[in-house]
Amino acid sequence: MVCNKGKHVNPFFYHLLSRWLIPGKCIEVPLHFAMDYEKCTICEMVLSFQNQGDLACARHHFSFLEREILLGVKSPYHATKILEMKGLNLDEKTTMIQERLATFVDRFPKMFDYDLFEEMQQFLITSKEEFKAIRRTKELSRIIFTLYFFRKQLEKETTVAPQHRHLRLKFRPMLLHTSFGLKEILSIYVGLNFLKGHELFEERHFLSSLSHVMPGVQSIPSSYYVSEADDAIQTFYIEVEKDTQYSFTEEEVTKLKTHLGKEILSRVEQLVPPVFMPRNEEEVMRNIVLLASQLRYLRDIPQMIISFDEQTDSELCFTVILVRLIGPDSVPIKELFRGGALEKNLSIERIKMVGRLRRKHPKEATVMRVCLPAEKFLREDFSVDLLSARIQLVSEIEQALGEVRDYNGGMISKQAENYQLLKKVLGKEAEKHALLLQNFFHSIYPAVFSTTLDPIQLKTLFSMLLEAMESPEMTRLQSKKGKGGLFIMIKVHDFSLRQKIFSQIEHLNLPSNELCSVHMQIFDAFYLGFLHLHQSPQKQEELMDAVSSLTFAANPSYL
């Protein structure tokens, strides 16, 4: 064969003739010769056949292969297509991927360097065989150079702004070749940087983000691939489909592009080392005595103190101290929990009598250890919701024992009640921003305001927070006056400015029962919310002057 010069010609010519001149049978090649001469490539192959039947079959099929050879030598694109349609083993795919990436390095030297081949090597070694087998070389090459490009861009961005979270996202509809035919799916490329040494983002975090934006989306088995080239930067690839098996529409892809990034950033998990803190037995005895002193009348209900013990990789462990009055018909504590929700999770460490009421009614103290499954209390950002775990623990103890006084949980109960009222007032907004609302509510300071403030007032402050988050401005000041007082929401990116605002407010010496504050960090911005409960216009003006004098220099917007 003599044709126009091309790097792809010789391997294409060799593979096509040696493997497909007789379909399903590899032909022995005792001699293979190729050279480039001026603008031409010259190839020669000597083929050896075992019998006359093979030779006749080869002559018959050559007329069909001849057309494909003439088409493939004219274009690397057509050559790759033809070989992929014929079927390639993994070694041949690897060779073609390497040739394709070499072309990218030659054509785009500013975008790609030779360390692209390190990315290729890691991908080919760590990705699963079944993943590579049903995907074309073009698709495999795209995964490699896209993740490589993401990593290079993130390295540049983190060098300029190392304290900021950076994210790269790319969506691409794709046809997947399966044993049942072609299936249209969505391929997603993701790159992000870590800000701390104990951060984690895995497939489960991504799927949680995805399902929050678009329920009913699931990953293609074995399609998740993560590049581990850098500990501070993570890039990964995944393919997803809808559970209805229908293709993704343009509107759905646009929705993912708009909302998925924020969900990903909110779900980077913070790994916390386990805390070793042996239980203080002296404190346990002190709490037993305290609870026993609360039982003064025969009608008094059992008294209980709950304290958090430890967190393991699968459980949340609590110590429960319960003191109750024992009557003639009292059921043993072990029998009360038998058959209940806590039976398998509870272990009674000791039971003892700690005195008598009126010298004849025994007071019984029980120390229990309860371990609840941690996965039931994971929030959207994969942090553990200890408050919800404690509330459920109290509920299950009351189901077993009846009415119990939660001695150290009175304020928690009031907070939970007010939080439910706030969710009711917000309606659908509460479901849409569930994690944000929970963080907002529990950042209220002083904490007593979370139990006493009107949910309407909290709704106003939360709505101002949402408005500030949607604003593209780096620094922003909002204020509203209402019957509840003066509402202020400030958005800043400069940590030092945040500190100055707090210092300025402290100099006003406002009573703690007049000023409620909310402080939150969301991604790279700080949000400072204030509710001044005093109705005096003069005091409200002083507070506004204090915060606006600092934020005005940063070019805020006033609403």
The amino acid sitting at 135 is: R
Q: What end-to-end distance do the CA atoms of the chain give, in Å?
A: 76
Cβ–Cβ < 8 Å for 526, 492? yes
Peptide bond into 446 cis (omega under 30): yes
Single out the residue of 341, 398, 330 nearest to residue 363, CA to CA: 330
**Centroid of chain to Cα 457:** 31
Which overall architecture, per CATH, does domain 281-408 show?
2-Layer Sandwich (3.30)
Give the containing element (helix H, strand E) for 292. Answer: helix 281-294
Cβ–Cβ < 8 Å for 514, 534? yes
Query: What 3-state class would DSSP assign to 361?
Result: strand
Give the containing element (helix H, strand E) for 42. Answer: strand 40-48
Where are the chain's structural domains?
2-87, 116-270, 281-408, 421-554
**Strands of the sheet with 28-37, listed across from one edge:** 2-4, 40-48, 28-37
Q: Which H, E and C letters describe 496-510, residue by residue?
A: HHHHHHHHHHHCCCC
Dihedral sign, Cα of residue 100, residue 102, residue 105, residue 107: negative
The amino acid sitting at 519 is: H
Cβ–Cβ < 8 Å for 35, 42? yes
pTM: 0.69
Helices (DSSP H) in 214-280: which residue ranges? Answer: 250-265
Query: What 3-state class would DSSP assign to 474?
Result: coil
Q: What is the pLDDT along the chain (559 residues), one digit of tens a residue?
A: 999 988 888 888 888 888 778 866 778 899 999 999 889 999 999 999 988 888 888 888 887 788 888 888 888 777 776 766 555 566 667 777 887 888 888 888 888 888 888 888 888 878 888 888 778 888 899 999 999 999 999 999 999 988 889 999 999 998 876 666 678 899 999 999 998 878 889 999 999 999 989 988 999 988 999 987 677 899 999 999 988 778 899 999 999 999 999 899 988 988 877 777 778 889 999 999 999 999 999 999 999 999 999 888 889 999 999 999 999 889 999 999 998 889 899 999 999 999 999 888 999 999 999 999 999 998 888 888 999 999 999 999 999 999 999 999 888 889 999 999 999 999 999 988 888 999 999 999 999 999 999 999 999 999 999 999 988 888 888 899 887 889 999 998 887 888 888 888 888 888 888 999 999 988 878 999 999 998 788 888 888 888 887 766 555 444 4
Burial class (CB in 10 A: 0-12, 13-18, 19+), 556: buried
What CA–CA distance (Å, rounded) separates 360 from 355?
A: 9
What CA–CA distance (Å, rounded) separates 94 from 117?
A: 11
Give the containing element (helix H, strand E) for 16. Answer: helix 9-20
Structure tokens at 278: 């042996």
How does DSSP assign 261-281, residue by residue?
Answer: HHHHHTT-EE--PPP-----H
Single out the residue of 446, 387, 397 nearest to residue 417, CA to CA: 387
